[in-house]
Amino acid sequence: MNEVKISIIGAGSAVFSLNLVRDIILTPNLNGSTISLMDINEERLNAVYLLGKRYINEANAKFKFEKTTNRRESLKDADFVINTALVAGHDRLKKGWEIAKKYGYRFGGSFHVMHDEAFWINFYQFKLFDSILNDVLEVSPNAWYVQLANPVLAGITYLSRKYKKVKIVGLCHGFTGVYHLADVLGLKKEEISFQIPGVNHFIWLTHFYYRGENAFPIIDDWIRKEATTYWKKCYPSCDLGPKAIDLHQKFGVFPIGDTCTPGGGSWPWWYHINEENEKRWNEDPKAWWESYFAHGKRRVEELINLSKDTSASVSNRFPLKKSNEIIVPLIESIVCDIPRVLQVNIQNSNNFVPGIPSNFEVEIPALVSKKGIQGIETEGLPKPLTMYAIRDRVAPVEVELEAYESKNKELLVELLMMDPWTKSRELAVNFLEDILSLPYHEDMRKHYK
Amino acid sequence: MNEVKISIIGAGSAVFSLNLVRDIILTPNLNGSTISLMDINEERLNAVYLLGKRYINEANAKFKFEKTTNRRESLKDADFVINTALVAGHDRLKKGWEIAKKYGYRFGGSFHVMHDEAFWINFYQFKLFDSILNDVLEVSPNAWYVQLANPVLAGITYLSRKYKKVKIVGLCHGFTGVYHLADVLGLKKEEISFQIPGVNHFIWLTHFYYRGENAFPIIDDWIRKEATTYWKKCYPSCDLGPKAIDLHQKFGVFPIGDTCTPGGGSWPWWYHINEENEKRWNEDPKAWWESYFAHGKRRVEELINLSKDTSASVSNRFPLKKSNEIIVPLIESIVCDIPRVLQVNIQNSNNFVPGIPSNFEVEIPALVSKKGIQGIETEGLPKPLTMYAIRDRVAPVEVELEAYESKNKELLVELLMMDPWTKSRELAVNFLEDILSLPYHEDMRKHYK
């Protein structure tokens, strides 16, 4: 028995928390552990807590289950701090997008504007990250800090440099897109193996095996014979749509998960120059986001209903079946010394992805065990994709972080000058002022001089 | 006396060759050396040779002076191989620009299209570089290869990786823009010192001293009191024009020489979005290039006349006064072990400019002596400029070199997708096809599949 304390920051995200509870229930090695839910929204926290408690009882599992609105209380003696919090919600994101559209911004490689890692969202995330990490340093300096909250790319880059004493790792379920690919190809999840290096939201399948044999020919066979049929029924901006296939054929490797979908910023811009072109590629980022937001809203509503209906079975709604998420496997591997190769986001300190700066984030496979998280050296990406990564992801993120740290508004303009849709410097300045002048952006206005 | 052999490849460039001859005449330490002019254009070669001979005779200098159209003959026993050759001339450059303009390309951060390092010029340069270096390896493996020919950035990056046994250095007179700055500020050239790191054509004055004191306040004083008067008389796209000053005020450091002028690619795009905006910044890259070409043509004509008028004095036209060029000082430093700090282009092997990949070219100060060229570690550029360097210079150059080495036409399209003026992928593909289908681009058509 390995009793650890797992603190979940932002636990009011009901779907996330219940998924995590479920995976922990299904991991008997962690029996007796403590799960501490923390959120500043007491109402949501309570609802999730009551649901989780019912879930654990139904499964007759052995966990200490706690809740608190006091972060330091939750962090105290924590072995794992899981950050899934989002400070500024979707309404603010969408309001910013509305303004941006007037300035000619479009979805498509616009990573800091028309994407959920918009600079006016990230700013509040950075402040939260700093505040959590400072608490961790004081209250639970030996804990693992596991970040699921976006931006993983900028966040892990920033925190790994600044809080060198803390054990930091980012997780993103984007890589599980490879299971979608396997499923569509008719390959069993358990029989594939893969390498998907890159930087977060820009990861590419470079090695793909099915029962030990190169599975790229299976992809290419599917493209020849079945893709067009599949595209007739798949949703717009699908991760296996014509855009993904085109990118695969151009670069040799395969974009996984959010790499080219709206969730990852709809890279690159040239599929998105106008609606006609988007249609041609079966792309509709606007519809994709609407469906994403609606889906999230529906699930929250379902959970609220479930929490009110105290006679209902939680496990009926959330059948006890392990998810694809790797948070609990990661915890188990570290705590119980069960070595696993998992997809993680860490600093590129050992040239895990050649061509990405060594003090920048990368997403790579790592060996996870009691020893910790040991990144695995990959062959990286084909040269042009490495260059797109440093051009479209490294450079703007560095400018965004420099802007945040130096509190220099001018650098936010430079960030915008790197956006593919910025039409002129004047428009960028005006757009920035419009964003900053939103009533709830007082903190940001004060920060950036 | 230190008798060395200096081979000049592309010696038909009369102005360059006569400048070099003059600097050598004025360097008595190199008396007795051999200057070997090589060019495939016999007529121009002869004219330059006869002029140089008269020049040396008039100065009563002691040099062996030779000419040949056979490169290997010139390279034989050479200690220094100076490459100043341009394979595809200005007419081809301008023809490409004409086509590009139809596709919406503009001067302004368009490094591989609306710039003299256009990909259809560079291709022939790369082939030449390979061919010279292969000869050097066979005929004069111990020689220093000194490249003045463009592209210095892509060339030094490419050659330093491929020909590790050859001593390679690039020189560019762009940094002498700092003397222009000093002159306008009223500071004596001999009394300033400076550091101007970066990558070629993207170098910034980060340290500037006059008589040992920080001279940036002198710049800022000049901006306040004299700049507007100066701008009334300076030519468009001047390296001390309002655009340069604006960049200085935005980034703290000062753009030097070609960094923001048409000669260096008129970085960045946002001053050049339309003619109205260009006017506002006193920018006119088109006029700048026309004047540049006309000036070159005039000087060539002058020299042709001078070469025909055998009774005229060459030293009247070219007074015996040392130029700002550092080729001969570099040679003298190496040959005679006279240590000098000179501005060179070499591989960033020792992190001379932090943030630029270690296998990429940088332009930095180096200590030059008999020991060779030892790069000096700089503090590099401010973070946002480092990011612009990797975004706008490193990434596209890497893609261009990968395209050249893999002979992959698709990668030339990716190169175009990184240009700030590319409107769509379709237009990029069509533009590329237009360039490739020019009758004299048969070699290029065959190379890129």
Strands (E), A46-110: 64-68, 80-83
- Please give the full DSSP string across B25-53, using - where no structure is assigned: HT-GGGTT-EEEEE-S-HHHHHHHHHHHH
Q: Judge residue B393's burial from the number of C-beta atoms within 10 Å of its C-beta, 0-12 exposed, 13-18 middle, 19 or more buried.
A: buried
Query: CA B427 to CA B269: how far, in whole Å?
Result: 19
In this prediction, residues B211-229 reach a mean pLDDT of 97
Q: What angle do CA B173, B176, B177 make, to 5 degrees?
A: 115
Omega within 30 of 0 (cis) for the link into A255: no
- Residue of chain A minimizing CA distance to B421: A420
Question: Which residues in B lie closer than 8 A to residue A355 (C-beta atoms)?
Answer: 357
pLDDT band at residue A295 using 50, 70 and 90 as cut-offs: very high
B374 half-sphere exposure, CB direction, 13 A CA radius: 7
A95 pLDDT above the threshold of 80: yes
- Read off φ and ψ for residue B132, nearest 5 degrees: -65, -45
B23 to chain A, minimum CA–CA distance in Å?
41
**B254-306 tens-digit pLDDT:** 999 999 999 999 999 999 999 999 999 999 999 999 999 999 999 888 888 99
Inter-CA distances, A257 with A173, A202, A231, A264, Å? 8, 9, 17, 8
pLDDT score of A194 more than 60: yes
Q: Verify whether the Cβ–Cβ distance B387 to A396 is below 8 Å.
A: yes
Instruction: Return the amino acid letter for B232.
Output: K
Note whether B252 contacts A: Cβ–Cβ < 8 A: no
pLDDT at residue B318 in the model: 87
For B425, the closest of A270, A417, A424 (CB atoms) is A270
Q: CA-to-CA distance for B357 and A389, rounded, in angstroms?
A: 14
Q: Are A349 and A358 in contact (CB under 8 A)?
A: yes
- Average pLDDT of the residues of chain B: 96
- CB contact, 8 Å: A384 with chain B? yes
Residue A1 reports pLDDT greater than 80 = no
**Single-letter code of the amino acid located at A1:** M
Mutate to test the interface with A, among B281, B383, B417, B421 (most CBs of A within 10 A): B383
pLDDT of B1: 57
State how far the Cα of B140 lies from the Cα of B135, in Å rounded to an integer: 8
What is the 3 state secondary structure string of B395-407?
A: HHHHHHHHHHHHC
Distance CA B232, CA A14 (A): 66
A266, A419 contact by CB (below 8 A): no
Spatial distance between the Cα atoms of A315 and A143, rounded to a whole number of angstroms = 31
Give per-residue pLDDT as tens, B319-377: 999 888 999 999 999 999 999 999 999 999 999 999 999 999 999 999 999 999 999 99
Task: Report, as residue numbers or ranges, the catalytic residues of B.
Answer: 173, 258
Separation of alpha carbons B143 and B163, rounded Å: 13
- Count the neighbouring beta carbons within 10 Å of the beta carbon of residue B309: 10
Residue B250 touches partner A, C-beta closer than 8 Å: yes
φ/ψ region of B369 (left if φ > 0, alpha if ψ in -120 to 50, else beta) reads beta
User: Which H helix or E strand runs over B241?
Assistant: none
On the question of pLDDT at B118 being above 90, the answer is: yes
> pLDDT tens digits for B408-428?
999 999 999 999 999 999 999
Nearest CA in chain A to B355: A357
* Domain boundaries along the sequence of chain B: 387-447
Q: What is the mean pLDDT of residues A271-279?
A: 97
Residues B127 and B102 sit within 8 Å (Cβ to Cβ): no
Kindly give the interhelix angle for B285-308 and B42-59, rounded to the nearest 10 degrees.
Answer: 70
CB-CB under 8 Å, A402 with B384 = yes
Q: How many CB atoms lie within 10 A of CB A374?
A: 14
Structure-block tokens of residue B440: 């004299």
Q: What whole-number distance in Å separates Cα of residue B16 and Cα of residue B206?
A: 29
Average pLDDT for chain A: 96
Q: What is the DSSP string of A330-369?
A: HHHHHHHT--EEEEEEEE-TT-SSTTS-TTSEEEEEEEEE
Q: How many angstroms separate the CA atoms of B84 and A79, rounded?
A: 64
**pLDDT band at residue A92 under the 50/70/90 scheme:** very high
Give me the pLDDT at residue B323, please: 87
Q: Which residue on chain B is closest to A358 by alpha carbon? A: B355
By three-state DSSP, how is residue B8 classified? strand
**A159 neighbors A133 (Cβ within 8 angstroms):** yes
Which residue from A270, A386, A395 is facing B387, i.e. has the nearest CB? A395
A417 vs B contacts (CB less than 8 Å): 268, 270
Structure tokens belonging to residue B195 = 């550091």
N- to C-terminal Cα separation, chain A: 53
Cβ-defined contact of B391 to A388 (cutoff 8 Å): no
CA distances B282 to A176, B252, B271, B272, B279, Å, are 53, 21, 10, 10, 5
Sign of the Cα torsion B352, B354, B358, B364 reads: negative
Instruction: Give contacts of B250 with chain A, Cβ < 8 Å.
Output: 410
Note whether B395 contacts A: Cβ–Cβ < 8 A.
Answer: yes
At position B142, the amino acid (one-letter code) is N
Cα torsion for A240, A243, A249, A254, to the nearest 10°?
Answer: -40
Structure tokens at B51: 């002029």
- DSSP letter string over B281-345? TT--HHHHHHHHHHHHHHHHHHHHHHHH-TTS-HHHHS-S---S--HHHHHHHHHHT--EEEEEE
Whether the CB-CB separation of A157 and A349 falls below 8 Å is answered with no
pTM as predicted? 0.95
Report the gap between the CA of A52 and the closest CA in chain B (Å).
46
Residue A354 half-sphere exposure toward CB, CA atoms < 13 A: 10
Task: With cut-offs at 50, 70 and 90, classify the pLDDT of residue A324.
Answer: confident
Q: What is the pLDDT of residue B304?
A: 87
B64 touches chain A (CB under 8 A): no
**How many other CB atoms are found less than 10 A from the CB of residue A372?**
13
- The DSSP output letter for B391 is I
Cα–Cα–Cα angle for A422, A426, A432, rounded to 5 degrees:
70
Check B273 against A424: CB less than 8 A apart: yes
